[in-house]
Structure 1
């Protein structure tokens, strides 16, 4: 595959059908080296690091990198499906837009408010962006088993980290009129969090015919401030990873 740097034949006689997908290549490496066994590097082409390994139950699995944002994710997911992947769990980070969801907790997305250009090339705006119910329940059960603080609900997936998430503390403090007040509007619609990939992933799953889910560590509390709380990022990310690993180890 042109972008991910490997093909189906590189996956061996018993190829994986499940992938854990991270935006950050270092997170993909962390998952592979910490949680998987007999890990083999498939590719580090373009920073889209991909690793083949095995869960404790000997199930083969990929830890792969999507890159930041929906356009990059759409390329990686398309090629992963071409090499035989049929289940994808996104493990990411997000910003809470509800006052009761703290930094350090995790959000499991049941669906997405999808404001993403890449998704519009795949399906109409009206096409639902929903997570696979079985993978989602597995994530919820894992979070409960591990006694993590988790929240289940709708995620706002947008294309930009700054303007699209109504951040004004940036190089461009002058937001478009259509973006003023958007966070409060989403809050009133019971949207839980901001991130940049779930909506396109979920639409691709519906169109392509694979199962997708997402769990994100909360690293910003947008009812208080715009900034990421770096001191609590590792805890949030590690809980998101552990939830996904437990879910895929204990589900078919």
Structure 2
């Protein structure tokens, strides 16, 4: 029994689960499913399952940040999910990556102490390379501008991403400059958690992020357009991930044989 994804059972979830922070976006993604069924609505967690070309697929919200993302991922893994892909938003920290672009991170940097109960800071947070390749191949056929590279998962929304809370307190530090000089493309608050837990527990993970805002120019995608981009991206991610899983299982069987 899982604690927060209340009353969910292994029969309720597909081997592929799409993750997003916002419960409302889970409703949006699940509109693509055939016969969608709400499994869980509890706190920040909404879990909906349905079918995609005859295969069961799920979508689950994680909330924002480390703690709630850890809960969602651990409980999904307990339920038997084999592949988690975060289809969420991020901020661009690169001058060349504009709002509305798509970023697939093959790896994530993270702040010291992130998930330190599980692994030392030296443990890498990396995506499954077959998932990354499959998604990039699929999305390249669209009209989206696609980037791949290393991102940052921050534990902080405000000072940790150079946002001033407009109250007296600590001054902003030049965090973004430090990371961009080292090749970081973008920042979110969840992906490294997904990658670390997937590696530790032997499942597959990747992300496909919509650039909501360009942090250097403070330009943002309008909300309606942002949701439409997510919907289009989710379609292609689900297709490509099922193709990737078929390839992964074939390669695993070839090694066994």
TM-score with structure 1 length normalisation? 0.89
Q: Does 1:160 align with 2:156?
A: yes
Q: 1:210 to 1:166 in 2, by over 3 A?
A: same
Q: Does 1:52 align with 2:49?
A: yes
Residue 19 of structure 1 aligns to a residue whose secondary structure is strand
In 1, Cα distance between the equivalents of 2:143 and 2:239?
12
How big is each residue's C-alpha offset from its partner over 1:149-199, in whole Å with a ceiling of 9 and x where there is no partner? 11100011001211110112x2347545xx611101111111100100011
Greater Cα shift, 15-24 or 2-11: 2-11
Q: 1:239 Cα shift?
A: 4.2
Q: 1:116 Cα shift?
A: 6.3
Listed as ranges, the gaps of 5+ residues in structure 2 are 247-257
Name the structure 2 match of 1:31: 29
Whether contact under 8 Å (1:95, 1:195) holds in the other structure is yes
TM-score with structure 2 length normalisation? 0.88
Name the structure 2 match of 1:209: 202
RMSD between superposed Cα atoms in Å: 1.9
Q: 1:91 Cα shift?
A: 0.8
Listed as ranges, the gaps of 5+ residues in structure 1 are none
Whether contact under 8 Å (2:152, 2:187) holds in the other structure is yes
1:111-126 equivalent positions in 2, closer than 5 A = 111-115=107-111, 117-126=113-122
Q: 1:242 Cα shift?
A: 3.2
Aligned residue among 128, 151, 156 for 2:147: 151
Q: 1:182 to 1:47 in 2, by over 3 A?
A: closer
Name the structure 2 match of 1:189: 182
Whether contact under 8 Å (1:115, 1:157) holds in the other structure is yes
Name the structure 2 match of 1:222: 215
Residue 43 of structure 2 aligns to a residue whose secondary structure is helix
Whether contact under 8 Å (1:8, 1:84) holds in the other structure is no
Aligned residue among 12, 31, 42 for 2:39: 42
How many corresponding residue pairs?
A: 243
Whether contact under 8 Å (1:21, 1:88) holds in the other structure is yes
Whether contact under 8 Å (2:8, 2:39) holds in the other structure is no
Whether contact under 8 Å (1:116, 1:157) holds in the other structure is no
Q: 1:250 to 1:10 in 2, by over 3 A?
A: closer
Whether contact under 8 Å (1:104, 1:218) holds in the other structure is yes
Name the structure 2 match of 1:6: 7
Whether contact under 8 Å (2:44, 2:62) holds in the other structure is no
Whether contact under 8 Å (2:29, 2:231) holds in the other structure is no
